[in-house]
């Protein structure tokens, strides 16, 4: 198995919401960059964008 294959597997697992078990036990306060963190980030960034799109569409509709 090559390095890029391992990277692919790592990304795939993370996208599926999995994190290495032992990794989270390294810190008492837990990891910051978890799948949930990025889900919230996505909602925050793409949610705002979706709202802007909706506003534009409604403005176009008013004209």
**To the nearest whole angstrom, how small is the minimum distance from the Cβ of residue 32 to another protein?**
5
Query: Which of 1, 28, 36, 38 contacts another protein by CB under 8 A?
Result: 38
8 binds another protein (CB under 8 A): yes
CA–CA distance from 61 to each of 47, 51, 54, 56, 58 (Å)?
21, 15, 10, 8, 5
**Separation between Cα atoms, residue 22 and residue 25, nearest integer Å:** 5
Please give the residue ranges that form the binding site for another protein (CB under 8 A). Answer: 3-15, 19-20, 23, 26-27, 31-33, 35, 38, 41-42, 45-46, 49
């Amino acid at each position: 198995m090559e390095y890029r294959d391992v990277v692919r597997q790592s990304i795939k697992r993370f996208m599926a919401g999995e994190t290495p078990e032992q990794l989270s036990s390294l810190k008492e306060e837990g990891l910051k960059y978890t799948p949930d963190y990025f889900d919230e980030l996505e909602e925050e960034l793409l949610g705002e964008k979706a709202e802007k799109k909706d506003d534009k569409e409604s403005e176009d509709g008013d004209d």
